[in-house]
Structure 1
Amino acid sequence: MRSVLRALHGVNNVLETVIKVLAGLLVAFMVVTVFGGAVTRYITGIGYNVVMELPPMLMPWLVFPVAGILMRGGSHIAVDFLPERLSPKPARALRALVSAIAVLAGITFCFAGYEATALFKLVGQKTEMEWAFPIWWLYLSFPVGFAILTSFALENLLNALLGDPGAEAPEKDYEQAGA
């Protein structure tokens, strides 16, 4: 079981790095697009709708894949009262329960997202902006993001079940470092 955890941890480390790089590039693209549109409109007096429409349409590709990274690092929205008051063994059991629920929810949402994506691909609907592209490209972020979240939640679950020292919440390490 520990070898599965080590392999999953290695895969997730690479996945996290790739997602962070792609998310940074996506944010940079959105900022440059909006800034470039503003400069173009100021200089030429001509604006392009795609400049205002594209960044919000790309936002799901930022939000869904990054959600797994946030959950993996304990940076997701959580109630900190109970975990901080529990002794180590019950806290580990709580982490295992939360991670198991996240795995089940991730699998469920991944399949639901896949079905929605398949439906929009079958319909063949396209966006109604200057650059028309298939709407299913937007919906594809949903199953991709939840597949990533499921992988990270599974790693958290195995960490909690096996009692690895690395299973402690990263924010505790941050607090101990004197930050």
Structure 2
Amino acid sequence: MPVPADRLTLEQINVMERTEFVESLGGIFEHSPWVAEGTYGQQPFVSVQQLHDSMVDTARNAEGEQILGLLRAHPDLATRLEVSPLSAAEQQGAGLTRLTPEEFAQLTELNKAYTEKFGFPFILAVRGKNKEDIISSIAERVHRSVQEELEQALREISRITRFRLDDLLNVE
């Protein structure tokens, strides 16, 4: 079965030159092509899971400020600001573009409190969740410790990036 033009195969990724690899995979981690750059050279990947694990390891093993930059590259959920096309599609699928004015105000306040406490925006893999799930999650997580929430944010990024990688490679 042929692969659609906008999808990649693992075989294609394994033979890419550095520039093409970074261009193709640089958007998997929100505004952080350095993750793809740092993962390049670990080919051949025998599975999408190995590719994803390598990318997650690159992100998690970065310097503290670089990790914080990765976290801060994520947009606030339901923001009216410009977000990446991948984030926009993910948020739309979760119903965040259809918030009532009251829900939008509540989420805006929770996002503000969360960011003030932790120094990075609330990050949640929203695929499969609805707006009620999301509001409930941020309302709960805003009360956690900084260390707990840093770890949770990195786990959420891992989920988000796996969804994105699966979509790019058309993994079922």
Could you tell me the TM-score, scaled by structure 1's length? Answer: 0.27
TM-score normalised per structure 2: 0.28
Larger gyration radius, structure 1 or structure 2: 1
Higher relative contact order (CA 8 A, sep 6+): 1
Could you say which structure has the higher helix fraction? 1
